[in-house]
Structure 1
Amino acid sequence: MKKQETAAKTTAQIFRDNICTLFNLLNLLIAISLIVVHAWSNLFFILVVAMNTIIGIAQELKAKRLIEKLTLLSQPNACVERNGEALSIPIAEVQEQDILLLESGNQICADAVVTSGGIEVNESLLTGESDAIFKKEGDSLLSGSSVISGTCKAQVLRVGSDSYASKLTKEAKKTKAMHSELVGSMRKVTRLTSFCIVPLGILLFLQALLFRDSSLYDAVVGTSAGLLGMLPKGLYLLISISLAAGIITLSKKNVLVQDFYSLENLAHVDVLCLDKTGTLTEGKMQVENAVLFPETDKALFQEWIGNFLTHTQDNNATFQAMHGYFSGMDTLSVTEQIPFSSERKWSAVTFSGVGTFVVGAPEKLCPDTTLPELLEYQRTGKRVLLAGITRQTVQKDQPLPAVQLLAMIVLTDPLRANAARTIADFQREGVSVKLISGDNPVTASAIAQQAGILHGERWVDMRVIDESEIDAAAQQYTVFGRVTPQQKRQLIQAFHRQKHTVAMTGDGVNDLLALKEADCSISVGQGSDAARQTAQLVLLDSDFAVLKDVLLEGRRVVHNVTRSAGVFFIKTLYSVLLCAICLLTNTPFPFVPIQITLVDLIIEGYPSFFLSFLPDSRPVRTRFLPEAIRRAAPNSIAIGVCFLFYLLLHVMGLFSLSGEQTQANALLFLLIGTVGLLGVFKMCQPFTKIKAFFAVTSAAGFYAAIALCLWLQDHLLHLDILHLAVPTSTTLLFFVLLAILAVLTEQILSRTVFRRKETAGAAAFQIDESGDT
């Protein structure tokens, strides 16, 4: 038996992604430089980097184990025939030469050849085209395609890399590149930092040696501190931990997360597209009534529909409901049958000497007639099929000929529990809900209104909409009926062109193209094999209400990481700024690595890590990198202004150049810590008890750590831990003055140049879609 693969990272990938990073390489090179000059006390940052890496690996491994457990629940079995007996076995146990028993909704798990029967398949996961392809005896079946209609037996040709894992997790997802604004932004930061760090490091080092006649020790230590300050070391860890924590939380609610970054994508969603049957409704069809037309002979109808149900290959929820209502018969000889498909919207069986019995959508069986009683049923949200008979030839790729109508078959499909409440929750969160269904638009609109979808009365029959009108329809309507699989994808694309972030829920083969096109794709555990394996998120319990939890987890990750990045980037920006000023003024970088490490630990790491788990359900209206820089830039510039003021004091003879155990170093170190803490307090707004606790303890921890190190240096260990001089009263006075200058500068910049600007488009869409709310 082969081990089932999952969409989660492998253990090797987790170790590689956490260890083999550019940031770790730069940290290692800096550590080697410090080892060369025996700057042992300044190597503490390596322990911090190692601790970050270990925590990140442990959290991802925990998430991986949960994903694997849930994947076992989600993975479909294959039905095979061995020794004349039908068996349901795990897909990993399918062997070459096995006979697959395939029916509508199945995912084809291995390359095979049809040996008997006939099916229509959808190869959209492989080709991107949704057209149904008929496969008869002798035709090849490709792993990764899906059965739309019909039944057949097929002999397996190839397994292994061509079966389940390869075709589903690779083919279904390789056509859509991983999209993560957080990771993409961090890659930009990494590239920019790498671009700056090498030339700045070389210039700082050479300047110290050649222009200031510094010792090799001082040149290496000063340069290393400047370069370490540029690296937001814990931010990658924070993103990974936040996402992994979200995955762990959702896994406990039986939500299978098959794409690590889908939580983040869902946080940005402002349009949620729902399929009706099986997603918004339970998919548990029941025949409520069969209304015969006046000319219909009841006995003949019972015989015809009984034989139809006995011989049809269809087995979806609608036909299962009819099997439960009508009695099967086997009194007529079948000459041909055409199974149901979402494109045709009808099914037919031809009986010798009788004609062709057809069951399907009303607009297919009587396209030119509107039946008043049928509309009444549809307006109450019920599905209505027509049954009829014709003696003319019926072809599956041609419109139906004239059909004598025999009966209306009325079916009910109840809303999922909590569906209305969940939709109301989404709409309160500023998410516009759209219903996209292959069902009749009147029926779909009635269901939408029952579920509380805002503007659910705005429906359109997509049969009358051509491709050039898709964009206008997407903007004008809420309910879209009689939608083809291709049109579902086109609607998603239209929302994208209107600058919306779209989530799509679906449970059938006809939803595959739309699921792949959406920013975040969601399926239910009761959905088809193909839909479950294509979706980024699978609600294993088919509990629609848990979807709100997924949205809130995504928002928590994005908001908390963005706020924390505003603190991390303060050090990155002021390090680059101070390095540039030092180069231009031939001034040594004012700090040493151990001092930068203390800032990393207490000001950046401690509050950010714990606050990242706090809930935050606000809609995401900003982009990560611009918002993080907007938050950090005022503080960084304030430090730059104060550093220039310090240089002026140096020129006036009030302070010497900064270095180990100097008053200038003590002054500036207290200053960057204080301005960094100002960023922490900004991150914690609006204050709650827990946020206030971490803000206060960060501040207390920073100043207490300085006091403790100085006390240990003078009274106990006599170790120069921070390489910091005890500040004099004069130094403390100037520190207070510079701190006031920094606060004023930060406030002026925050309220003017870096004032927050709301995203007008998102706000306008929310107002338009939510009416008076």
Structure 2
Amino acid sequence: MDQNVDYDIGLTTPEVGQRVKDGQVNITNDNQFKSNWQIIAENTFTYFNLIFAILAALLVLVNSYRDLSFLPVIVANTIIGIVQEIRAKHVLSKLTVMNETNVSVVRDGQVQDIAIQDLVKDDVVILKAGDQVPADARVLSGAARVNEALLTGEADEIQKSAGSQLMSGSFLVAGEVYAQLEKVGDDSYIAKLTLEAKAMKSVEQSEMVRSINRIIKWVGIIIIPLGLALFGQSYFWNGNGLTESVTSMEAAIIGMIPEGLYLLTTIALAMAATRLARKEVMLHNMKSVETLARVNVLCVDKTGTITEPEMSAQKAVASHGISKEQLYQDLADFCGNMPAENETMKAISKKFKTSLYKKAVNTVPFTSVTKFSAVNFNDYALIIGAPEMVLRTQFKDYTSEFKAFTEQGYRVVVLAKYPDNIQTESPLTEPVEVIGYVLINNPIRKEAPDTFKYFANQGVEIKVISGDNPVTVSKVASEAKIKNADKYLDLSTYNGDFREIVDKYTVFGRVKPEQKKELVLALKAHGKTVAMTGDGVNDILAMKEADCSIAMASGNAAAVQASQVVLLDSNFAKMPEVVNEGRRVVNNIERSASLFLVKNIFSFLMAIISLLLTINYPIRPSQITLISAFTIGIPSFLLALESNYNLIRGNFIANVLSKSIPGGLTDVLAVWIVIGANMVLNLDKQDLATTATMVLVAVGLMVLHHISAPLNNFRLGVMVISFLCILASIALFHNFFNLTMISGRSLFLLIVLFFAELSIFRWMSAIADGVAEAGAILVQHGRDTTFGQVKAAYRKGKKASKW
């Protein structure tokens, strides 16, 4: 065991300097932010960039330089991705530094506040209730109750005194200690645990990112064997030259790669994070943006969320037969001896503490398990706590004295005299003499009613989960305009299955920390996507189980560190903005992904059919670039900027496919009609390729119109820009894109095909919209879905189709 440091003096400045020199600093090498070089490397040396490099080398080899037109797009994509990610990192890293937690430390005999990463081995830190232990330590002086739930999963509070070990990552529930740090930085328990947790969480992705990764993975697997087969067929079977075989193969491969989709997703998520950062909302991970947008149940605590975090003791009311003088003297005796280590005690002390009080033998700190604190005198004790916990079997005898106050929205704590001293670990066994009641409240946040009205309009259920009296909480929830606030339940008297009550009640009172967690799990068992807000140590267990956790920065450090989203100004009114940002990301990426997949579906099916019929792929790489740039790339990035706050419905991949499959199939049918017509019209290869390109451009614009419906000025502007860019490219850069002036026969064929495509696309889109609506019903109701429901949903989807 290391030698104890004098906790009144702590380390001296030379001792701190030596430890810094020796590297014994509380800095972990694992950083949530990548270095700039890591970002550059990860965006440059990708699997698909390697494929594009090989394709470029092959085109150079056969002197087909014009077909290298895809390279500027790839380079631009890579550079944009690097710049945007570095910018997002800088914004978030600055925000993280601003939000870092300081720790009280004793150095050179002086108490000072320093950042966690500036602590060194053997530093003496002062930890109070709500503080998180910054590194593995040993208690030198004082006593506290510690919750190690973040580390062990156990909610029990453990008593710590001189000589006890404190694990980093645990947090103090009550008391105050001086502790000497023994293991810092990478050697601490929490650092090792964090590395393991991050390794597990690396596979934990949102539905959208998971779906996109799955698409890209399968494309990556397919393109190499398919490309080799196309080249082999053209060169060996059809007897074409090396140049034509390489270019036709590359056109198919380039068409199958969704080169901009992953970049678009990364940029959209990074932009969402930076936009929220400017609004003083910090994300601990990107997943939370999408998850929060899909939330349909929001669990909130009363204090700090519905109400202001600061408690205020309004008045004290004497019990029957007790004089006001005795009440105020006993309150002074209690407040004079009990440290103001939690919000309740701070409020009571501020109102009732005086310099005239009797000296106590010792104190028993408040815990979230016992829900009372006590001050021991020679032959009795004074207790302040929740009426249910202090009065126990006497509760019914005194309810009439304070019931009216709880109905008015006050939080009521009882002051009682106990006929014996109370030990920290011992339950109350004797009857108490009630002295009086202290009435406490938290003002309703002025923005709370509008915020809860927003969520009600969005179909998001609100569940209020609090440790306070359920009648009081129900009253406060009603004032905040929470729907069904009158449906409340006292969980201190409930022992049944939580899954049976989560749908019946809105307000849950007298909830213990482990019960909050069980409520969240019960909601998830009902298929709900749950978000949990909190600002106290008693919220952490539930926050960890929720799909998305939101912390108020005004709360304790442990809750902030355990959350995925942090409201830095502790303003719950920011929640609609966070939800809307998530919806913007998901809706816009879903829409843009449909554009990308049209090209991928067409290229894949066209490649397969070309192999089966042993014909060359009819389009050149430069023409694929033209289609990609102006019917997919530019529109998708512009549309991703739009404010799109619609409700998210259905499965991401199903929604994307329902919009992209009709376009992909229409492309294939139209091009094959061109190829079939060519057998009669006998067009040359350039004429055929140009006509096929114009057909694909037309379908691309149809798809763009379909996913943009209903049109507004912004979306119409995007379509006009895309159309004008296509016209300019054809007029000014036709040689670059291998386009020729088509013959009269080809022009006639093109016009006829345009109207045929319109009908085919409209018909297929209506069917796809119907299938998507039926699929959404199946997902929503699962095995309980009837055939009639599916049929009705299909008809509804077809009828509501924008085509």
* Equivalent residue letter for 1:294: H
CA distance in 2, matches of 1:175, 1:379: 47
* Other-structure match for 1:523: 551
Q: Please provide the CA RMSD for this pair.
A: 2.2
CA distance in 2, matches of 1:302, 1:377: 19
Name the stretch that deviates more: 606-615 or 734-743: 734-743
**8 A Cα contact 1:144 1:163, kept in partner:** no
- C-alpha distance 164-32 of structure 1, shift in aligned 2 (>3 A): farther
* Other-structure match for 1:770: none
* Other-structure match for 2:578: 550
> How far off is 1:95 after superposition?
1.4
> How far off is 1:700 after superposition?
2.6
Q: Provide the secondary structure at the position in 2 that maps to 1:344.
A: coil
**8 A Cα contact 1:226 1:575, kept in partner:** yes
* Other-structure match for 1:144: 169
**8 A Cα contact 2:543 2:550, kept in partner:** yes
Q: Which runs of 5+ in 2 are unaligned?
A: 1-19, 783-803
- C-alpha distance 523-112 of structure 1, shift in aligned 2 (>3 A): same
* Other-structure match for 2:715: 691
1:311 aligns with 2:327: no
> How far off is 1:735 after superposition?
1.2
Q: Provide the secondary structure at the position in 2 that maps to 1:75.
A: coil
What are the within-5 Å matches in structure 2 for residues 494-643 of structure 1? 494-643=522-671
> How far off is 1:25 after superposition?
2.5
What are the within-5 Å matches in structure 2 for residues 243-258 of structure 1? 243-258=269-284
Name the stretch that deviates more: 366-375 or 220-229: 366-375
Give CA deviations for 1:259-316 in whole Å, capped at 9, x if unaligned: 1221111111111111111222111111111111133354454444333323324511
Residue of 185, 205, 225 corresponding to 1:179: 205
* Other-structure match for 2:749: 734
Name the stretch that deviates more: 679-688 or 5-14: 5-14
Q: Provide the secondary structure at the position in 2 that maps to 1:421.
A: helix
**8 A Cα contact 1:655 1:663, kept in partner:** no
1:438 aligns with 2:467: yes
* Other-structure match for 1:28: 53
> How far off is 1:6 after superposition?
6.5
Residue of 655, 669, 681 corresponding to 2:682: 655
**8 A Cα contact 1:126 1:172, kept in partner:** no
**8 A Cα contact 2:135 2:190, kept in partner:** no
1:743 aligns with 2:758: yes
* Other-structure match for 1:59: 84
* Other-structure match for 1:361: 386
> How far off is 1:745 after superposition?
1.5
CA distance in 2, matches of 1:384, 1:761: 48
* Equivalent residue letter for 2:747: L
Question: Percentage identity across aligned positions?
Answer: 35
> How far off is 1:644 after superposition?
2.9
1:166 aligns with 2:191: yes
* Equivalent residue letter for 1:280: I
Q: Provide the secondary structure at the position in 2 that maps to 1:290.
A: strand
CA distance in 2, matches of 1:245, 1:609: 12
TM-score, normalising length: structure 1? 0.93
> How far off is 1:162 after superposition?
4.6
What are the within-5 Å matches in structure 2 for residues 113-262 of structure 1? 113-162=138-187, 166=191, 170=195, 178-262=204-288
Q: Provide the secondary structure at the position in 1 that maps to 2:717.
A: helix
CA distance in 2, matches of 1:14, 1:100: 37
Residue of 736, 739, 746 corresponding to 1:721: 736
* Other-structure match for 1:447: 476
CA distance in 1, matches of 2:439, 2:110: 37
* Other-structure match for 2:507: 479
- C-alpha distance 620-72 of structure 1, shift in aligned 2 (>3 A): same
- C-alpha distance 267-131 of structure 1, shift in aligned 2 (>3 A): same
- C-alpha distance 360-486 of structure 1, shift in aligned 2 (>3 A): same
Q: Provide the secondary structure at the position in 2 that maps to 1:279.
A: helix
Q: Provide the secondary structure at the position in 2 that maps to 1:256.
A: strand
Give CA deviations for 1:410-447 in whole Å, capped at 9, x if unaligned: 00101123011111111112211111111111111111
CA distance in 2, matches of 1:456, 1:25: 58
CA distance in 1, matches of 2:43, 2:457: 38
> How far off is 1:464 after superposition?
2.9
Name the stretch that deviates more: 297-306 or 551-560: 297-306
CA distance in 2, matches of 1:274, 1:167: 32
* Other-structure match for 2:65: 40
Name the stretch that deviates more: 367-376 or 201-210: 367-376
Name the stretch that deviates more: 104-113 or 728-737: 728-737
CA distance in 2, matches of 1:537, 1:691: 32
Name the stretch that deviates more: 281-290 or 12-21: 12-21
CA distance in 1, matches of 2:520, 2:32: 24
CA distance in 1, matches of 2:506, 2:445: 20
**8 A Cα contact 2:671 2:695, kept in partner:** no
Residue of 705, 713, 718 corresponding to 2:729: 705
- C-alpha distance 162-300 of structure 1, shift in aligned 2 (>3 A): farther
CA distance in 2, matches of 1:412, 1:274: 17
> How far off is 1:57 after superposition?
1.6
* Other-structure match for 1:75: 100
CA distance in 2, matches of 1:299, 1:7: 58
If asked which structure has higher relative contact order (CA below 8 Å, sep 6+), I would say: 1
Give CA deviations for 1:52-96 in whole Å, capped at 9, x if unaligned: 111122112222222122212221110112233221111111111
* Equivalent residue letter for 1:399: P
Name the stretch that deviates more: 693-702 or 27-36: 27-36
**8 A Cα contact 1:603 1:677, kept in partner:** yes
CA distance in 2, matches of 1:727, 1:350: 99
Q: Provide the secondary structure at the position in 2 that maps to 1:259.
A: coil
1:666 aligns with 2:720: no
* Equivalent residue letter for 2:737: L
CA distance in 2, matches of 1:632, 1:315: 59
Q: Provide the secondary structure at the position in 2 that maps to 1:269.
A: coil
Residue of 741, 757, 764 corresponding to 2:773: 757
TM-score, normalising length: structure 2? 0.90
* Other-structure match for 1:681: 705
CA distance in 2, matches of 1:174, 1:306: 53
* Other-structure match for 1:717: none
Residue of 340, 361, 367 corresponding to 2:366: 340
